[in-house]
Structure 1
């Protein structure tokens, strides 16, 4: 093909891959009943006067499928970490045993699972919209390109194939997440 069209196709593919990476990150933030250290990724702790991400002041791990443990590097941070988790409004009730902050992740109700599934579906739809926007922009660039009509048509087919491929990938990722959410 033509260098200009190849560039348009390659850059569109990269943008679509970024949408998939973003979707996967968003899906990790939707909790599916299992305890995960990423559930606390947005928590910041008052560490000597500055707001610091929790992962920078403590080890965050899981003891089992329903328990998150936070072991601070400095014991005097236990209370601050507990307070930060409560203030993050994640619906968790942290407890400390003098060494470690322990968070029991409650089992999800059927209604909450359905709501999380809807949230995952909406997130997947947003990713599809992003991919369609990337396709639209690529098609506009192809129309402006100074090449033959046949080359433009081939490039448009390539862009549509990429769109279809990434849309299917989004559907597959959603199905996997939905099964994970709905599993009791």
Structure 2
């Protein structure tokens, strides 16, 4: 019977990879001196009673190297979008002109660079937590399989496999964080 019990390690790996993809997406939104439309990707706006990504309430453009604009489609949401950008922790002071919100990207000073490295570290920690949650799910599967008749040797094997996968993914998060922090601190 123990030959039939198997843990879906591919599913666990796919879910951990999802955390890595999300981390890379969040890192792309951290500015390193030039304007980018992806800088506002993590901003969520309280629109129509639910939290909505900013790109679903307006058009995001980069008209010049140090400026991002958000053309809000619904005039009633302009103040909510502006407030969401202000509270997002991007360190950008939005300027409103009708339905267009302009985001001037200031030069990064040393203090702001350090602050952005801390934000990057927070994103990395969220990814580590997500990976550990997937690990916990895998360990729960192993415990259920144990009650279903899995041998101790198989249990040890799968526990080691899940832990090795977790360690590899967390090392990937650490490496990505190190690279992003170096990129931010580069003048």
TM-score, L = length of structure 2? 0.71
Distance 2:133 2:77 in 1: 44
Q: Matches of 2:15 and 2:46 in 1, distance apart?
A: 34
Match of 2:176 in 1: 173
Task: Report the counterpart of residue 5 of structure 1 in structure 2.
Answer: 6
Matches within 5 A, 1:133-148: 133-145=133-145, 146-148=149-151
How many residues align? The count is 176
Please give the residue correspondences for 1:100-119 in structure 2 after superposition, counting only pairs within 5 Å: 102-119=102-119
Separation in structure 2 between the aligned mates of residue 104 and residue 84 of structure 1, nearest angstrom: 18
Partner of 2:83: 87
Deviation at 1:151, TM superposition (A): 2.0
C-alpha change, 1:65 and 1:139, in structure 2 (3 Å) is same
Change over 3 Å in CA distance of 1:85–1:133 after alignment to 2: closer
The 1-side partners of 2:94 and 2:143 are apart by 57
Is contact 1:142–1:152 with CA below 8 Å preserved after alignment? yes
Paired position in structure 2 for 1:125: 125
SS in 2 for 1:6: coil
Structure 2 runs not aligned, ≥5 long: none
Q: Is the 8 A contact 2:7 2:138 kept in 1?
A: no
1:139·1:156 contact (CA, 8 Å) conserved in 2? yes
Unaligned runs of 5+ in 1: none
Structure 2 counterpart of 1:183: 186
Secondary structure, counterpart of 1:142 in structure 2: helix
**How big is each residue's C-alpha offset from its partner over 1:4-32, in whole Å with a ceiling of 9 and x where there is no partner?**
4232x233223312222232233234333
Taking the aligned partners of 1:132 and 1:85, their CA distance within structure 2 comes to 33
Compute the displacement of 1:72 (Å).
6.8
